[in-house]
Structure 1
């Protein structure tokens, strides 16, 4: 029998894990110069802060949710048959290592096609069900349950009500590691610069999506990310009444890392603006 994946117990486990990881990150943030930093590939860094935070998350989730698979950025892992946790212990590592106080812990639960998380009809496709994004610098905890709602520190949040792309403030992320899609990205960025109220780039995808979910941004797009960068944020935006999709419209959620998200009013216009250059 499929467990009730949308239960408060699973959400509480993710919140507990996020707080445990954040405590480790903030402890290391006071002594950044002492961190041991490795380079996974160009502009892709990892430190012992990432690794220790991830271990804290794994310990909580393995104890609290046995039988659920786990895929984590630093240690890998294995997907479960019915559901899988998707974890980024430190989204915004470059910010963290540079002393820029804009980074987060991101944890999501993905139910797989065929599972029955509500005890009713099997899911036709993989679906992010639970999203937790915790910003320890602002002490802002974003949580969401698929089909139920999204919250910031316990208060219900919704995407913005901006109706026109011309009135929108967008977020994005520049190519920083893989530049193979630069020629597809830059024309859309130029169009957005000229056709919106402004574009921001702060360097943490999970927070870009969380801020879209609570209406600070009207929309967001980025290319070349990883599933753990966008999994929790996908739940947040969708549960807050917005749209979060794969830019290529090939996957049920943007696990390819090509993501476009916004409130429902500008979703079509933003999608056209960006995807026509792909």
Structure 2
């Protein structure tokens, strides 16, 4: 692949799409008693708000950046059905924090991330990518009116102002974010000892219920570190780049993929990463 990617064009498209999706979410949020809710499986809910927001987001991205493939949560678009010539793929979560949304908790977000494929040349003079890489990210929190955005080697911003991960250097001083098992309980025997270790070795843990915002909060220094297991790629694609561009580290918890596409994610500022991973590592088992 040799065609370059216009980061500003893609970032503009993601921002416009996120605002359109968020406007739909907030309209529904203010009339939640009228929502039709479906149960995809236990504790896996979807409402008309998710679906309508996703349609609006896809329409805007298709209009502004038709050259990219799309993977989206509710429409279950599959990468195999996308154009083979695409240089990158959008990963869309129209409503990250659905349970919060449905219970009236004002903590949810629109998450849109663009991941460039291995072999893509991002700009003139650069070597082709050696692995799939998140390159554009937008996470929009409509309740706080906070827009987190980033592009590859372009830094991370909150409402247009540059942000960085904080400089906490020890686990004892660290505030963590996490997500408890709530739908897939197959990894409880791995997660439970991690949680116990974190309770005893850190300043505290928060479980806020929106992975994209957890990662955004690492990027702006509200959390020192975050980990979660068995999420979906659209939950973490945008947040991965936010943290990286804010000076932090994000990896696949099992170190099997170049970014946490399987939803096993560890994110910290750079000072904490080694100690945090060392705390979690003894509980990890080989994936099936």
Q: Give the TM interval when normalised to the shorter protein.
A: over 0.9
1:24 counterpart residue number: 24
Find the partner of 2:95 among 82, 90, 94.
Answer: 90
Indicate the SS of the match to 1:143.
Answer: strand
| Cα deviation 1:183-232 (Å, max 9, x = unaligned) | 10010100000100000000000000000000000000000100000000
| 1:8-157 paired onto structure 2 within 5 Å | 8-79=8-79, 80=83, 81-119=86-124, 120-157=126-163
Find the partner of 1:254 among 257, 260, 273.
Answer: 260
Unaligned runs of 5+ in 2: none
After TM superposition, the score normalised by the length of structure 2 is 0.95
| Cα deviation 1:227-275 (Å, max 9, x = unaligned) | 0000000000000000000000010000110000000000011111112
Post-superposition offset of 1:5: 2.5
| Cα deviation 1:61-96 (Å, max 9, x = unaligned) | 000001210000011224353200000000000000
1:65–1:3 CA distance, 2 compared to 1 (3 A)? farther
Runs of 4+ off more than 6 Å: none
Find the partner of 2:233 among 221, 227, 236.
Answer: 227
| Cα deviation 1:26-71 (Å, max 9, x = unaligned) | 0001110110100111100000000000000011000000121000
CA distance in 1, matches of 2:189, 2:57: 37
CA distance in 1, matches of 2:75, 2:258: 25
Q: Quick check: 1:242–1:263 contact (8 Å CA) kept in 2?
A: yes
Q: How many residues align?
A: 278
Indicate the SS of the match to 2:46.
Answer: strand
Indicate the SS of the match to 2:221.
Answer: coil
After TM superposition, the score normalised by the length of structure 1 is 0.98
Post-superposition offset of 1:146: 1.7
Unaligned runs of 5+ in 1: none
